[in-house]
Structures are given as structure tokens and as C-alpha cells.
Chains A and B, each alone.
Chain A
Amino acid sequence: MRRGIRLGLVALVVAASASTGVSAPAIADRPQPVTPRAAVAGDAWSQTKSMQRELIAADGTSTAISDPNTGGAWQVTVSADHTQNLRGRERVGITWSGAQPSAGRANDPFGPGGMNQEYPVVVLQCRGTGDDVKPETCWTSSFGQRSQVSRSPSDATWTEDLHALGSAKTQVSSALGDVPGADRCPDVDRSGVTYTRLVPFVSAKGQVYPACDAKTMPPEAASEAALPANEIAGYTDAQGRGSAQFEVRTDVENESLGCSKQVACSIVVIPIGGISCESASTEVEQQMTPVEKSCRRTGQFSPGSSNFTSTGVDQAVSPALWWAESNWRNRFAIPVTFGDPPDTCDILDPRAPTGFYGSELLAQAALQWAPAYCLNKKRFKFQHNQMPDQAGFSLMASGGGAAALVSSKYESEGDPVGYAPVALTGFGIGYIVDRPENAGEYTDLRLNARLLAKLVTQSYVGSSYGAAHPGMEQNPWAITKDPEFTALNPGLTDNALEAGATLLSLSNSSDVIRQLTEYIAADKEAMAFVKGKADPWGMRVNPSYKKIKLPRDEWPLLDDFVPQGGTDCKANNPSTYFNDLAAPVSTMRKVAEALLDAWPNVQTRCDTDLSVTPPIYKVGRVERQHYGDRFMLGVVSLGDAQRYGLRTAGLETRKDKYVTPTTDSLTAAMKVIEPDGKRGPFEMDMVELRKAGNAYPGTMLVYTAARLQNLDKKDAAKVAQFIRTATTEGQRSGSGNGQLPGGFVPIRKSGATKALYTRAQAVARAIEQQKVPVAPPEAGPATVTPGSPEAVPVGEPVVAAPAAGPAAAPEALTMPPTKAVSSEWSGRLLPVLLMLGLVFAVVSAVSRVVTLRSRR
């Protein structure tokens, strides 16, 4: 991790060399990078600006509000950790320093929730770059964030703006000049009593939305829209520093905003310093007009305070007027570029794709790799189809897919299979944890195997409902109440949230679950806990999971406890409480998005609508967590963690040694791998891995597995091409097409990953040649032609659906052999019965004769 930071800092300093010498902000706030994105030259961005609020008195004298530390203007530096080739929902780390400390912190700084704060730093996404960026092209998710409609004269501080043009100071105005008529904007008061300023939104297609009420906003701004707001009013601490993970949206997520590879966009950062006021009407402060007074306000809250109840703030220093010239002129427009959309290959390449089936770990790499194949006519069209590793392997082994992407060895009955390592990555325990009292995010979460065992076995009870579970009376409600956890992670809240009782994980089979459970299984204390021994604080394993066999590919939901009683809704909708808590999902991407939104997948919400009889009950997912009170854990892939800017926890290896996923710790894991055969996967022994100390236990290799015999020649050539390209060109770090994204460690010809590279080339050759002989015990040639139905059973006669076979089979297919079904019983029973019967009949007769004789 340290090396990561150092690299990041170096790059940042290089990129920021043009700017004034402000000490580099804490880039460490960004999650520990596996391959630091900022290390790519030109990717990071930084700029410094000077800004000052001025209040002009009646006599023309100007009073400036200065930085108390310097006595001069505020020198604000804004940095972004990466700006190139962004993808939908990717998060960019924005940091700033030298800004005015914020006050009245909101529970939720996103969208409308962030409006009632003082001196925040507004971060928005806008279409255009440089001078093309206008307030009209900046996205907000509600009209109240951009327009001030029918405000009382005292709340019309924008009309006092020193820097604004005269046209902006009229009673009813619009940033685009023409104010729509009463038919379009009935809420705008035109009687002359109140003031209105509209900041319309112009969509990518040129449509103008006047933004005078919720109806005149773009469709993506509907309340409870599919995606939560991404614009944020960030908080600056007492030292003038702050940070935000800003989530960018492409035209896939937000069509009206319309950012894409072709349409350039910017992330606009506006430190709110307050409205500079033009000269007052009188020198006597008490005789000023109400609007003049309110323009000169400097805030109701003290720096560093919170505004939990979201009470009103002084408009002059609130983020609602980010578009006012006094604020807007201080903006930082960070130009960003976007990568190819995920459907690039479908649109631009009409060829039929060749599917590679399996591991989700490769998802982010495949997103960047795919265009490098489909846009190059000399290559084939690569398509990554995510599915459980086991299913992908079976599909490949049965001929349904050219190759599988797996992370461990699978048994194959038919042809021999070669495994070529193509990616070094892994999984992480992603988290979003806030420190209490607005102290920011917790960045150093540490977990050990027993804590993970407690989470996956659902041994935290969650709430009073779960506390009624027999056998778990002594267990804490959530991990935040567990003394073992608080000892590792001091200074966190001890509120017991239901989300703190669970680790959001996968519902289906995956090599990630295998690796995670192997990590638990390799720990003596964790296994003792699973087997029923209480931990030193008296906590016991959930009896439903006691002695569960580890490791395993799939985590089952075994607890069927249904709590009794509770609220009216709970009583009428009984459900298996612990399953609702765990509520696993089908892909790690969903886990990453839940973490991104701080929206636990806990399904225990139970609301009653009493307005109708009988009452209507609404059950489902709990609400999103409040900013400042977030606590959520989930299993994520390292690729997703980097893409979405998620933090991943340090896992215990040796005693008191916690390892986070970094380039170093993943590379260190390569020292303990053992090759399996000539073309098999590498074996990574968890005990060895933990013994190594500095190796990350969640390290995983993704292999391209393909048959070494009887694979179609064309497919074999494609798979070989993929392996060769992926292990050479595909291992260059970067955000462009064909490059390796963050979260993956490059496999190179030399160094610690040499063995992987060599093995990949050897397997690629073997796959291309298709000459590896079948292992001796295999019986006869068993060819399954690609595309033939997988459902041809080998054991019993064909149970084919009517249309299963090819419509016309021009040439005879080689079919698998009939499997032997035999029975010893069936073969021997009758002869043995008859023989026994005869033998005993004879013995009986003889003994009878003997008896008779002896009597005589």
C-alpha cells in the first residue's frame, strides 16, 4: 500500500507541477490501489485558484473575507486522481485543500439533501469542457438545486451579486434570457412580489428544460430515479481539506446529460465562498434592505458542526446558488474523457462473437479488452459471458463454449483441458464505514478469519428479532458490537445496524466463495468457532451453520428461524429473518453497486399503510444509509473495487499482520504457488499463503481453460490468440482499449510472474495444436461436436426433446459411448439362490438321516 501511495504522489506532483506549490492533498483517501490509476501519466489533474468574497459598502469601500491562516485570498487547490477513459458509474477521487471550512453538515450531501449546508464544495458533472461549461449544461437531480422560484425579496441574494450581469438581477429572469410563459411555468409568480431566477437545463440533444418545477426537468431527474443523485455538496474540514468520490455518469446512465466517448464532459468543482455583494444603499447596517442584509450573512452554523435536522441556512453561503456568478467564477472544470461504452462490440462489429464463459473477476478487464479484439479485423470478436465458474467449465468441457474462465481446477470427464493464467487479481471485502461525528470515512478496516466466519455463518443476530434465535442469546447484534472487531478497529460507532450483522455475498457457486471459505478454513480459531466453540467473549456460532463443511463453492442459506411477534407488519408477514439479513445477490457487481450507493441489501423493511382497510404491507429492502452513519460490508472483485473506488479491508495473515490488496501483496502470493502438471492450474495453498505474511489471502488467478483435443480448429486458434494477446498486450496498465485496468497486477515475462507467463504461452501452444493425447484411463474417443446439445446424457439412453437434434444431420456424428450399467445382485442372485437352496436341501436330508440312525 505504501508503494502505491508513493507512486500516486509522484505522479500527482508531476501532474501538478504547473500549479502553485500547495502541499499535495491526501491521496491516501483513495482506496488502496492495486495498480494505481494515477500512475499513468496525464491521467491525474490538479489546479490552484485564488478566490475571495467581497462585500461593497455604500461608500464604495470593499471588505474582503480572507483566509485567517494567510490573511489573504483563499488559495484553493483541487485535484482529481484520474480523468481518462472513464466508464459508467466509475468514481473519481476529488480532493481539495485551502477551502473555507464548511458548517452545518448534512446527513446526505448528495442531490437535494446537500443544499442545507454552509460553505460546502459543490461537485457536479457538466457537458462540455473549458469555457463551454455553463450552468445550463450541469446536471442536478432536482429543480430546486438550480432554480430559485418565487422567493421572497429577502431571499433574492443573487440580485445583489457583485459579479452578476444586470440581466440576472431582474425580478424574474432566466439564465437563457427568455422566461417561459405561465402555461409552461405556472409556479413562477409574475405579480412583482417575489423573485425568480431560472437555470434551465439543456440536454445533449439541445432540448431546453426550464427547470421551474419538477415537471419541467429532464426525465432522469424524476424523484426516486433509478440511480441516486451523483452531484455532491462536499464538506471541508477545519484545515480546509476535503474529498469526495465523485461518480461519473455516461449517456447509458444519463441520456439527457449525454456524456460519452464522443461528447466531452467535465467534473466541475465549485468551492462555495458566499455571494459577493454590490454596494449597499446605506452605510448604517440597521437601515439596509432585507436582501442587502441577507446577502452579507456569513452563516448560522459554526465550522465543523452538523445540521441533522436540515434546517434552513443562510442563502448567501449555501450551495443552492452555485450558479451565481460569485460562485461560478471560482469553478474548477476538470476535463474528463470516457471510454467505449460496454456495447461497443455489439454495435461496431457484426461478426458472431466467440464466447468465453465464467469468472466475474475478469469483468472489468474484459470490458477494456473486448474492443481491442472486435475493432481489429485481424482478431476475433471476444465476448466474456459471466456465469458461475463451474457452469462455465461444464459448458466448455461439453463443447458449448470455446473456452472457460475459471480460478481453480475442475474435474473433466472427456478431453484433457489446459489452463492458461491470464489475470492476476482477487477478491476483497469491500466496505463503506463512516467514523462518528462527521470525522470522515474509515480507511483502515481490518478483519480476521474468525470475524469473517461470524459474518458468513450469520452469527450476529441483527436486532431483537434475531436475538430470539435459540442458541444465540449471548451473541452481539452486529459486528460493531463485537469486542473482537472493536479491538481491531477502534474509534468506530457502536450502533448496531442490521447491515452490520451481515456480509453481502454471492448466492451462486463461485471460486471466490471457495477462496473466502478456504481462508476461514485455514484458521484454527475460526474453525473452532464454526465447530461450536465459543469465542473468548462468549459468542457462539449460529446453530444452523454449526460444523458446516468448509471450504465450499456455494454458501447455503440454512437458517429457517422465523421470529414471532413484533410490529403489526412483522406479525402479519412472517419471514426467515436471517435469510432477509443475508440476502445474497447473484453477481459481485451488484455487491459493488450496493456499496457504492451505501444501500445494504438487507430485506427486513416492513411498512404498514394504514390509510386503507385492511392495511397494506410493504416489505423489502431497507433504506439507503445516511452519510456519516454508513456501515456496510460486501464481497467485491478487486477490479470492481478499483473501478468504483471502493475500499477493501486488510485481512489477517499472521498474528497482528493485516494485508490489503496491493501490487506488492498480490505479487508476494505468487511465491507460494505450485504448478499442477504441465498444463494444469497453479495450486495456491492457503496455509502457505498466510504463512508468507505479506501475501494477500484473497489473491486469485483467472485462467482461460480450453480443451486440448477435439476443439474446433478455428476456435482453438481464437483461444490461443486470446491467451497470447491477453498475456502480452493485455497486461499493460492503463484505462484504454486493450489495457489492463486497476485491480489487476500485470503478468510479465520476467520477475515474480514469469512462471505465469511461461505457462500461458505453453498452454496456448497446446491448445492451438490440439494434439495432447487423452489420459490413459479414458475410454475410447468421446467427441462432442461444438454446438451439439449439452443434454445428450452419457449414462442413459438419449432423452432428447423433440427438436433437440440438428434438423438434418448430413454426416454421422461421433457419439459418446454407452455407459456401463450393471448390477452384481442382478447377475448373481438367482444362481446363488438356487445353488444355496439345493446345497442346504442336501445337507438337511443328510443330517436327517444321521439323526434317524443315531436314534436307532
Chain B
Amino acid sequence: MTALDDPQVVTHEQPATQGRGSRFRRQAPQRRAPRPVQPAGPPNRVETASSVISTSTTMVALVTLWMALQMLVLGGVAQERSQSLLYGEFRAQVAAATAPVGPVTEPGAPVALLEIPRLGLQQVVVEGTASGDLLAGPGHLRNTVLPGQAGTSVVLGRAATYGSPFADVEHLEPGDRIEVTVGQGRVVFTVQALRRSGDPLPQPLASGRSRLTLVTAEGSGRLGAIAPGETLYVDAEASSAFPAPSGLPPTVPESEKPMGIDTGVLPLLALDLALLLALTLGVIAARQRWSLVHVWVVATPLAIALAWVTTDGVMRLLPNLT
């Protein structure tokens, strides 16, 4: 949430978006269908051109700003809700000793609770690191052991969008504590180093120890907080470790590796866009019969819901560490 660069801009836009949205929806048909409203005289060329420009730019502005809004603000709300639900679920599982211990867990299920006291960060880690999994919270790379088990565990988290859980990880320093609760118990890791491209990999892990590597992205420059282009690794080690089960999958699909994208969502996305189109046509048709107010009372929640779902889909097409 601290990742928001300029919250005012966005929050100002929010009401405006809603308002303009309704106006745009009404104007959109004017371009394609014969005007249903009484025209104020024959339009001259300047008028037509400027109205086309106005309509299309409004549309583009709406789409882009909505996406930015959802990625930076609304996604955060959704992520907090997911975290709340996951926390409840994981708490119950730990209490009942049914929390997963690997080696294979259903993707999306909570597997660990990650706390970094210095950053005030508390996140439930889910299984799987595909772009879609990371919408709910940090994800555990499936071909590594769970955090706290003997060996190296890797956890990926978003840096800028959807609650940006790992936005502040770059401020960690060697010696900081990372506390992890898994089904087998609680382990405290100590941060060893931050690692960027070109830095040497950590030394081979001594047997019986556990390593946790947090992976996220970071940007540089003025807009660095919302432009995370380079991967950042945080290596932390713990001297004790829980036994690790054997049978880990040898590899994960490309979509689950750092900066991976999940193209499997494309069919769903096509469906979402088709529904949006259907809604637009529906609004045009409805405007012929009913009044503006009635139509928009019905259409607005639908439009918002569809836009939300569509943006979620688009997010899965974007790199998972964004």
C-alpha cells in the first residue's frame, strides 16, 4: 500500500471515472448507430471530428486509468480480503495440525505465515507462484521445500500492485528477522544479504540448515516504486530446520518462475471482453426503451464487476513480480 506514488491523483479520478463512464456509454453509440437523441442541427466537420476525438480519448483514458486504479488501489483491497480469508483458513489448519507440509500442495492454498517485524509485514504465503496466485499474496515456488524445512525455500511476492506485499523488502538489512510459521512450527530466519543481478549466489547450504529466499522486483528513479523491472533476492538463513519430505517436483512451468507470465488466462480474458461488448450493446439497446437513469442503475454494477474481472485477467498476463 505504501507503493502508491501519488494517491491523490488516483482518488480524485475515482468519482470522475464513474461520472464520465456514464457519459461515455451514452456517447459511444452515437458514433456507430444513428443518433437516437435529437440532434442540435446538422453537425459540421469540426464538430464531428472533435466529438470523435473526445469520445475515443475519453475511452482510452477511462480504460487506462481504471487499470491503474485497480492495480494500485482496488487490487490492494481485494488482496487484503484474500489475506484475511487465507489467514483464517491457515490459522484453523495450524490449530488442527492439518496445515500442508509438502511436497505437493494444491496451488492457491495457504502454506505459511510470513512476518517481518521491522517492516510491519504480515502475509499468508500461498502455494504457487503463477501471476494469478500472487494476486492473493506472496507465493511459494513449488519445486522448493516449504519455508523452514531443510533446504532452500523460495517465496515470490509482488512489489507494486495488488497490495504490493514485498514493496519494502528492499529496505531489509543483513541481521533483520523474518519469522515464518508453517504447519510444522515456527522458524526465525536472519537476513544474510540482498542480492541483485550479477552478485554471487549464496554459498552452498550446510546440511540441516534452512534458507529462505524472498524474490521480488524493484525499480529505480523517481517512479521506482511503481516501476519494478529488476529482480531482487533476499537470502535469509535459519540454523534449525524441519525435516523436508522427498518427492518435490523437479521443475515448475515457465509461468511460475520469476517474472513469468501466465498465458493460460487468454480464453477467459476473451470471454470477459466479449461480455463487456455485450454489455455495451445491451446498454445501447436498452436506451431505446428506458430512461437513462434506469439503464445506468442496472448497468453500472455490471460494468464495474466486468471491468474488475477483466483487469484481474490482464494482471495474470503481466509478470508475476510486478
Residues in chain A within 8 A of chain B (CB atoms): 779-780, 788-789, 792, 794, 796-809, 812-831, 833-834, 836-841, 843-844, 847-848, 850-851, 854-855
Min CB distance, A161 to chain B, in Å?
Answer: 72
Query: Is B154 within 8 A of A799, CB to CB?
Result: yes
B205 at the interface (CB under 8 A from A): yes
Please give me the residue from chain B that is nearest to A799 by CB atom.
Answer: B144
Known pairs A823-B217, A844-B54; list 5 more (Cβ under 8 Å): A818-B197, A818-B233, A823-B319, A830-B227, A851-B51
User: Which A residue sits closest to B64, measured CB to CB?
Assistant: A837
CB distance from B45 to the nearest CB of A (A): 10
Total interface residues on B, CB under 8 Å, equals 67
B198 touches which of A796, A812, A817, A833 (Cβ 8 Å): A817
Residues of B within 8 A of A824 (CB): 229
Contact of A830 among B53, B68, B141, B152 (CB under 8 A): B68
- On B, residues with C-beta under 8 Å from A are 9, 13, 40, 44, 46-47, 50-51, 53-54, 57-58, 60-61, 64-65, 67-68, 71-72, 141, 143-145, 150-152, 154, 160-161, 195-208, 211, 213, 215, 217, 219, 223, 226-231, 233, 235, 244, 257-259, 261, 318-319, 321-322
Which residues on B sit within 8 Å (CB–CB) of A817?
197-201
Q: From A804, which residue of chain B is reached at the shortest CB distance?
A: B204
Q: List 15 A-B contacts (CB under 8 A).
A: A780-B198, A792-B204, A796-B258, A797-B213, A797-B233, A798-B213, A800-B151, A804-B205, A826-B321, A827-B229, A840-B60, A840-B61, A841-B57, A847-B50, A851-B50
Chain A residues with CB under 8 Å of B231's CB are 820-822
Closest chain B residue to A848, Cβ basis:
B54
**Residues of B contacting A805 in the complex (Cβ-Cβ under 8 angstroms):** 203-207
- On whether the beta carbons of B72 and A820 are closer than 8 Å, the reply is no
Q: Hey, which chain B residues are within 8 Å of A843, CB to CB?
A: 53, 57, 61
Across the interface, which residues of B come within 8 angstroms of A829, CB to CB? 227, 318, 322
* In contact, B65 and A837 (Cβ under 8 angstroms): yes
A194 and B72 CA atoms in complex are apart in Å by 106
Query: Are A830's CB and B226's CB within 8 A?
Result: yes
B143 surroundings in chain A (CB, below 8 A): 799
Residue of A with least CB distance to B206? A805
Q: Decide: A847 and B53 in contact? CB cutoff 8 A.
A: yes
CA distance A686 to B187 in the complex (A): 62
Output the residue of A780, A796, A838, A854 with the most chain B CB within 10 A: A796
B197 with A808: CB separation less than 8 A: no
Q: Which 10 A-B residue pairings sit nearest by Cβ, starting from the closest?
A: A827-B229, A805-B204, A840-B61, A820-B197, A847-B54, A837-B65, A837-B64, A830-B226, A844-B57, A815-B201
Q: Determine whether the beta carbon of A823 is less than 8 Å from that of B54.
A: no
Nearest chain A residue, comparing its CB with the CB of B40: A855
A828-B198 contact in complex given A788-B204, A800-B204, C-beta closer than 8 Å = no
For the complex formed, measure the closest distance between the CB of B213 and the CB atoms of chain A, giving whole angstroms. 4
A811, closest chain B residue (CB): B203
Residues of A within 8 A of B321 (CB): 823, 826
Taking a contact as CB atoms under 8 Å apart, the answer to whether A830 and B197 are in contact is no
Given the complex of chains A and B, what is the CA–CA distance between A827 and B233 in angstroms? 17
Q: Which residues of B contact A850 (CB under 8 A)?
A: 46, 50
Contact present for A799 and B152 (CB under 8 Å): yes
**Is A826 a contact of B201 with CB atoms below 8 Å?**
no
Q: Shortest Cβ distance from A844 into chain B, in angstroms?
A: 4
Assess whether A796 is in contact with B318, with CB atoms less than 8 Å apart.
Answer: no
Most buried by A among B46, B47, B50, B161: B50
Most buried by B among A808, A828, A836: A836
Which residue of B40, B68, B150, B215 is within 8 Å of A797 (Cβ)? B215
- Judge whether A823 and B72 touch: CB under 8 Å: no
